[in-house]
Structure 1
Amino acid sequence: MASPRLDDPVEIGGVTLRNRLYRAPLLECAGSGPDAPGRLAAELEPAARAGAGLVCQGATIVRETGGCAAPGMTRVADPEFVASLEAVTETVHDHGAAIAIQLEHGGLRSMETWHAEYRREHPALRQLAVSRPPRLLRLLDRLGFLDYDARVMTTAEVYDLAADFGRAAAMATDAGYDIVHLAGANMGIIHQFLSPFYNHRDDEFGDGVRFLEVVANEIRARAGDVPLMTKVPAETAAPPGIRRHLTEDATVEICRRLDDAGYDALVPVSGSVFWDASIVRGSFPARAWDDERFRDGYAAAFGGPLRARLVELGNRLEAAWYDFDPAWNAALCRRVREVVSVPVLCEGGIRERGEMDRLLGDACDAVGMARPFYAEPELPARLLGRETERDVRVVCESCNNCAVPQVTGAGGVCRTPTVLSRAGRLKKQGEYVRTSENAGETKGDPEG
């Protein structure tokens, strides 16, 4: 049987995507105010218009207070606000794409841990914790880089949190989202349940997969048979000396269990036990750190200019350690795909059309990108319908100048002149205009 092409459709839980290219979750920095639906629609519409099969809205928080891992995150706890997001789903559907909403709670990674100014403004907020914070993180607390006042959840409180995921999913489905995507990696609360570095519970949730099973049950009970997918972390980049972490073998077994639990698609990703450069591998973002527009914001976030410089030094060391590696999750995805019956989605360092076609049918069933969309919001128009031009490559340099300013609340945009110049030339050449070869369906909801 011939391997699928990027332009071929694929089904996730009864929703047919018109092709196998998706915009992976990004931080849209839209917030939860009255202008949030318009800002989200403006962020997501270009990818849908350019032909993406699936557009993922970035991590949205399932509770009204606490749990935000970065400034400007959207919350999906207020029914009236979530109903207003129908403007977002309609915009994406008008271009024939499907839309997923990624649900999250930051747990120990929340802003009340690491953002100094936010802590001062919200002194009563406590982090939700799966277990007592690990010893290394408690050391960083004593040194003043982090601030832990963690509330270790009781068994009943874990069930309450799972119910919040279910309620958020139900409201989102009513607003027109086609797929619910759980933020199961990048040190969010789900990752913390799955990781032996964080999870030392002695109740049923000491088995972290149990939390994902209960979340799935809550979503099915409240939102019906909405397709459900999740990221699944492997902590293969854990620093030396961290003995308790998720091995690749453990992650493959977790994915097998989630397949049995009724998840409709899986996104295996590798990284560290920490929220660090292992999840955005690439160059040190020198331009972003040197930009005077953000210096006060860095100082406010990290507790002063000196501490901001120390974080910058840590970022420099991490960038050297976690250098860019093309399609760095492919081997893990390939192993998972061998043991599950549902689609496996691969993202992380995928940058060329030819590479995408090689991955499909081997390591995965669909391919996604995130940071490249900051430079090329209409990127799918360049990649789809180009199977005879396998050298088509994104303009993104994986320099991460887009990501670091987000700790100040700045929006996610490309800030690298050479990248923007190339994107500008391509735009003048009409490369972002969909042609008859890559247009496909242009109107109506995805087939369900």
Structure 2
Amino acid sequence: MTQFSNPFTFKSGVTITNRLVMSPMTTQQSFYNGTVTQDEIQYYADRAKGLGAIITGAANVQAQGKGWPGELSIATDDMLPQLHALAGAIQAQGAKAIVQIFHAGRMTHAATLMGEQPVSASAVAALRPDAETPRAMTTDEIHDTVIAFGEATRRAIQAGFDGVELHGANTYLLQQFFSPHSNRREDDYGGSREKRYRFIKEVLASVFAAVEKYADHPFLVGYRLSPEEFETPGIRFDDTLWLLDQLKATNLDYVHISLNAYDRVARDDQHDQKSILAYVHDHLTGQLPLIGVGGVRTRQDVNHVLQNAELVAVGQQLLYDPSWAVKLATGADDAILQVPFKEAVKFVPLNTPLHDFAAARFQH
């Protein structure tokens, strides 16, 4: 079995020293305009030692894509100095720095957008109590957003990051275009799976074009996805397997599955004989590395994930136990903090909002 201490080299040429990755989690520590704060830089630096890589919390690629107050932004060039400081702080601890880029789509509020109505693939509200009905994006707005993802990638390169992760999970805009619940369009961006995938395809092309043009050293691109939706209509596991086939044909360096438990079983009765992680790993057939995630707290959890993934993402555990990876590497397992969720919040640093902790627990 693969050992977590083994290094890993991605298709792009980026090499990480081990298989442990910090999962992207929202911290709401940025300034009101999305600029990185010193508290945020310290938060990541405190957790980077002993990890192969850190994936930051989501950074919006456009002001219209902002999901919540205190969110990191990579939408304008004036963010570059502090983004550079963030990347450097992570790398100084020996970990690669990956920034997650996204657009919230309908998963935001007009109050967050300075009074502007949220946008999405279609004018369909999310199924949640506080959901606002979004405005369907025009074709020109879709094209502008595709360009914005490429520009965000350029900024990540110029800021010194080692890669970007496209946030196509947790019901944000990339997922909204692929989902038959949020996408009811009747143009070239809606209808069949192929048409609902078109936005993702164009975003990937924009990102890879930016890498080709601006990166003068290995730079990786990953993609995060949620395996199924509860809505009807919604993404089913067969849709995800189809999506994985499309992603396998790209230059992606990895796929990152979003799960709240690594042993979670699909709701689909055609795929309930083993875990979602196992089905996804088998379907990728070694063509695309997989990052597994979901409730990883112990050495045993890490080993279980590595049976069905090339890398392991750790979220909640690192929030209240920043030196967890170092303890694992040095065999200090007895020193690892193991506390129930209700008690764990007592150990979270004061500058880490509980929104972050809950997000780590309730990944979709």
The alignment's TM-score, normalised by the length of structure 1, stands at 0.68
1:176-215, aligned counterparts within 5 Å? 176-206=160-190, 207-215=195-203
Structure with larger Rg: 1
Question: Alpha carbons of 1:250 and 1:178: their partners in 2 closer, same or farther (altered >3 Å)?
Answer: same
| Partners of 1:267 and 1:182 in 2: CA distance | 10
Task: Look up the match of 1:376.
Answer: 321
AA aligned to 2:42 is A
For residues 38-57 of structure 1, the aligned pairs below 5 Å read 38-49=38-49, 51-57=50-56
Task: Give the alignment of 1:200-279 within 5 angstroms.
Answer: 200-206=184-190, 207-224=195-212, 226-235=219-228, 238=230, 242-270=231-259
Match in the other structure for 2:58? 59
1:397 counterpart residue number: 340
Q: Summarize the alignment of residues 331-410 of structure 1 with structure 2, pairs less than 5 Å apart.
A: 331-340=275-284, 341-360=287-306, 362-386=307-331, 394-399=337-342, 402=345, 410=353
- Higher RCO (CA 8 Å, separation ≥ 6 residues): 1
- Farther-moved stretch of structure 1 (76-85 vs 97-106): 76-85
Letter in 2 for 1:248: F
Q: 1:365 & 1:35 partners in 2: Cα distance? A: 33
CA distance in 2, matches of 1:85, 1:136: 34
Report the AA paired with residue 227 of structure 1.
Answer: L
In 2: Cα distance, 1:178 partner to 1:76 partner: 15
In structure 2, distance between residues paired with 1:175 and 1:56? 15
User: Over residues 108-165 of structure 1, what are the superposed CA-to-partner deviations in whole Å (9 max), with x where a residue is unaligned?
Assistant: 10132xxxxx36x933x1111101205956xx6xxxx4433x2211223212111101
Q: 1:326 to 1:396 in 2, by over 3 A?
A: farther
Distance (Å, rounded) in 2 between the aligned partners of 1:36 and 1:204: 37
Residue 267 of structure 1: SS of its match in structure 2?
A: strand
SS of residue paired to 2:141: helix
User: Is 1:26 the equivalent of 2:25?
Assistant: yes
Q: Which secondary structure does the structure 1 equivalent of 2:106 belong to?
A: helix
Following the alignment from structure 2 to structure 1, what is the Cα–Cα distance between the partners of residues 144 and 132?
Answer: 25
Q: Give the residue type in structure 2 aligned to 1:337.
A: H
Alpha-carbon separation, structure 2, partners of 1:372 and 1:19: 18
Larger helix share, 1 or 2: 1
The Cα of 1:213 is off from its aligned counterpart by 1.5
- Aligned CA distance change for structure 1 residues 346 and 326 (closer, same or farther; 3 Å): closer
How many residue pairs end up in the alignment?
Answer: 333
Aligned partner letter, 1:81: M
Deviation at 1:201, TM superposition (A): 1.8
Partner of 1:122 in structure 2?
A: 114
Structure 1 SS opposite 2:58:
strand
* SS in structure 1 at match of 2:226: strand
Q: Which amino acid is 1:89 matched to? A: A
Whole-angstrom distance in 2 between the partners of 1:102 and 1:344: 16
Aligned CA distance change for structure 1 residues 155 and 373 (closer, same or farther; 3 Å)? same
Contact 1:101 1:177 in 2 (8 A): yes
Please give the alpha-carbon distance, in whole angstroms, between the structure 2 residues aligned to 1:366 and 1:374.
19
The letter for the 2-side match of 1:212 is: I
TM superposition shift of 1:401: 7.3
Gaps (5+ residues) in structure 1?
Answer: 113-117, 271-278, 280-324, 416-448
- Counterpart CA distance in 1 for 2:343 and 2:254 is 28
Q: Residues 402, 127 of structure 1: CA spacing in aligned structure 2 closer, same or farther, 3 A cutoff?
A: farther
Paired with 1:398 and 1:39, the residues of 2 have a C-alpha distance of: 24
CA 1:34–1:344 in 2, change beyond 3 Å: closer, same or farther?
A: closer
Q: State the partner residue of 1:107.
A: 105
Say yes or no: does 1:171 pair with 2:155: yes
Deviation at 1:391, TM superposition (A): 8.2
**Structure 1 counterpart of 2:136, from 127, 130, 152:** 152
Unpaired runs of at least 5, structure 2: 266-273, 359-364
Using the alignment, how far apart are the partners of 2:34 and 2:249 within structure 1?
40
Q: Give the superposed CA RMSD.
A: 2.9
Structure 1 position 382, deviation (Å)? 1.6
Q: Is the 8 A contact 1:375 1:414 kept in 2?
A: no
Q: Distance in 2 between matches of 1:160 and 1:372?
A: 38
Mark the CA change 1:394 to 1:14 in structure 2 (over 3 Å): closer, same or farther.
farther
Tell me, yes or no, if the aligned pair for 2:168 and 2:174 is still in contact at 8 Å. Answer: yes
